[in-house]
Structure 1
Amino acid sequence: MKRYMGLDYGDKQIGVAVSDELGWTAQGLTVLRNSRDERVLNDIVNLVKEWNVGELIVGLPKNMNGTVGPRGQLAMEFAETLKAAVAIPVHLWDERLTTVSAERMLIEADVSRKKRKGVVDRIAAALILQNYIDSKTSKR
């Protein structure tokens, strides 16, 4: 079975998470610097190969009313670019409030502001991926 990979696309960083081999749970993997060029695409392609990923899930930041704003548009364009770079399905997934949830989890765990900055995108990617996995599991 191939793994899922979740991406939390941001202006400066891209949080990356992968599923376990059975596709049941998501774990934060790393944070990539968003260079907005071939380098970040190559990094993702290499991670896809290294982790035997079969599907990519890109977080789509929607407004609270469900509309897609400028940040969502950037995520959609990134997903289209990814589709051309990888030979696997790329899905967009509604990620409303995942970064807020990730921040809240870290604050509750008493993680310092400095340390939170380094892991919040990775945790947000894991939340996006876990929500996607849970939606697929509930349909089975």
Structure 2
Amino acid sequence: MSTVLVFDFGLQRTGVAVGNTIVGTSSAVETLQSINGKPNWPGITRLIEQWAPAQLVVGMPKQLDGTDTPLTAPIEKFCNQLNGRFNLPVAQANEQFSSIEAGRRLKEVRQAGRKKKVSKEDVDQLSAVIIFENWYQSQ
């Protein structure tokens, strides 16, 4: 395995990153806007065709005590749909605090000279990068 496509799934937006398991790095790709509250399947299909991943990874949030969140069921449905549509293995990775960490990293970059305001799309993409890092370290 080498290429992994990573999703920070949300009901409004899904951040996407691509990771490489050989070197253990990942990069933000884009943020897909949901379509009428549903995943952006045309965008996901395009990215899977473009990157030809061997593995898909989806961030799964948990409460501090390890219990499910309100997003658990929609994310599990998304994972099942990914597997059914693309016949690729789908792993779930801990994404607890990934958005907070992404916001912190982006603010540090902005303070170091970047003038642009931190957008939700930037946070979603970097969250997907952090989900890859968490997943990769657990392998």
Q: TM-score when scaled to structure 2?
A: 0.87
CA contact (8 A) 2:11 2:38 kept: no
Aligned to 1:3: 3
Name the aligned partner's letter for residue 51 of structure 2.
W
- C-alpha distance 61-113 of structure 1, shift in aligned 2 (>3 A): farther
Residues 8 and 124 in structure 2, CA contact (< 8 A), matched pair in contact too: yes
Matched letter for residue 26 of structure 2: A
Task: Provide the C-alpha distance between the structure 2 equivalents of 1:45 and 1:54, rounded to a whole number of angstroms.
Answer: 14
Question: 1:21 deviation in Å?
Answer: 7.0
1:69 corresponds to: 69
Q: Which residue of structure 2 aligns with residue 122 of structure 1?
A: 125
Output the amino acid matched with 2:120.
Answer: K
Percent identity reads 27
The 1:25/1:106 distance shift into structure 2, 3 A limit, reads same
Write out per-residue CA displacement over residues 27-86 of structure 1, whole angstroms, 9 at most, x where no aligned residue: 111110111447x12321221121120110000011111011211221111111111111
Out of 128, 131, 135, which is 1:132 matched to? Answer: 135
| Matched positions, count | 135
Q: Is the 8 A contact 1:106 1:116 kept in 2?
A: no
Cα deviation, residue 102, structure 1: 0.3
Alpha-carbon distance in structure 1 between the residues aligned to 2:104 and 2:131: 15
Greater alpha carbon shift after TM alignment, 97-106 vs 69-78: 69-78
Instruction: Return the offset for 1:6.
Output: 0.6
SS in 1 for 2:24: coil
CA distance in 2, matches of 1:31, 1:86: 20
Name the stretch that deviates more: 114-123 or 60-69: 114-123
| Cα deviation digits, residues 73-114 of structure 1 (max 9, x gap) | 211111111111111101111110000100111122226684
- Between the aligned partners of 1:50 and 1:98, the Cα distance in structure 2 is 25
User: Aligned-pair RMSD on alpha carbons?
Assistant: 1.9
Partner of 2:13: 13
Give ranges in structure 2 of 5+ residues lacking alignment. Answer: none
TM-score, scaled to structure 1: 0.86
| Cα distance in 1 for residues equivalent to 2:49 and 2:101 | 29
Q: Counterpart amino acid of 1:133? A: Y
Q: Which amino acid aligns with 1:65?
A: D
Are positions 1:97 and 2:97 aligned together?
yes
